[in-house]
Amino acid sequence: MTTTVLVTGGAGFIGCALSKQLPDHFDRVVAFDNLHPQIHPTATRPADLDERVEFIKGDVTVAEDWDRLLADVRPNVVIHLAAETGTGQSLTEATRHAKVNVVGTTELLDALVRHEALPEKIVLSSSRAVYGEGAWVDADGVVSYPGQRSDAMLESGQWDFPGLTVLPFESSKVSPNPTSVYGSTKLAQENILRAWCLALNVTPVLFRLQNVYGPGQSLSNPYTGIVSFFAQKAKALEVIPVYEDGEIIRDFVYIDDVANALVQGVLHSGANEHAYDIGSGEGTSILRIAGLIADYYGAPAPQINGKYRNGDVRAASSEIGASEAALSWKPEVMVADGVVRLCKWIDAGAPALV
């Protein structure tokens, strides 16, 4: 029997990384992508998309595109990557984010029913943004959810919640409470997919990814990819601007580690009650990563400017022990090494998504 995997958003950063592995496990690999100009300025098939992968251009929000696709493609597994991902951009383009992330998902599900093409499994690439500011703990060990930092709070330079320390994100312990439109759409996506899959006997496998970076990411998209943005500033020997007080914490996870985790989920995971948290397990300050990149290029020291962005969370890191155990997986590239790999790729000419 021919086995087929369909990857929505399959010509994107993560899709291209997956394309190097999936043909080893499936007879047919189909990438479905609209080649949005924000990611693909020339709207052509990316050079990084493995030649063994079929590419079909189409929009996940358009029913007719799904009809055209599913007339020929009968997927055993769907990997749902297609999404709008800009946290800040989602505040001013909320409809676009909701349409792609929420309606795009429901169009996928409706089309699978319409064509009687239910897969065995759907793997969703969700986001750490669903947690929002997450859970914080006080000196007595009492856990609370302080919620979104207000504009007034940020304007006054109050970056943290007084007397509280943030806990790492872990899906079995930290409740989602998104602070951005983007995060809200990703949480809706999770809930819709889980409810639909369990009702129709399809296996849902949910991942919550931390900040993914590495060779292959778009260098032209101003709304995602802070590591590549810093690298391009430093390569030009410009000062890297650092927001707030520099102590914003993120878990930067290397693209190959993300691809390996997703493949493990595709091949081996059953339905997971709690989403897999995928990160490096290492929280890194924005000032530190800016410093690593500046040092690599011999650029001026990064400059803290006190600016902020509404919807951004103060600290985002992950506890990945449960994901490591369930997926027989572990991250291999920590941030100090990953930054060097990214910078070398940029220096070599960066055959990024086009």
Closest listed residue to residue 343, CA positions, set 247, 229, 249, 250: 229
Q: Are 256 and 212 in contact, with CB atoms under 8 Å apart?
A: no
The three-point CA angle 115-121-122 to 5° equals: 80
CA distance 106 to 270: 22
Token pair listed for 40: 């693909």
Question: CA-CA distance, 98 to 268, in Å (whole number)?
Answer: 31
**Pick the catalytic residue: 182, 213, 243, 297?**
182
148: helix, coil or strand?
A: coil
Alpha-helical runs (H) found in the chain:
13-19, 63-70, 89-92, 94-98, 104-114, 151-155, 181-200, 226-235, 255-268, 286-297, 321-327, 335-347
What angle, rounded to 10 degrees, do the helices at 335-347 and 226-235 form? 60
The span from the CA of 350 to the CA of 213, in Å, is: 13
131 catalytically annotated: no
Strands 211-213 and 284-285: unpaired
- CB–CB of 18/80 below 8 Å? no
In angstroms, the CA 189 to CA 48 distance is 28
Output the CA torsion 34→39→43→48 (10° steps). -100
Which positions are annotated as active-site residues? 182
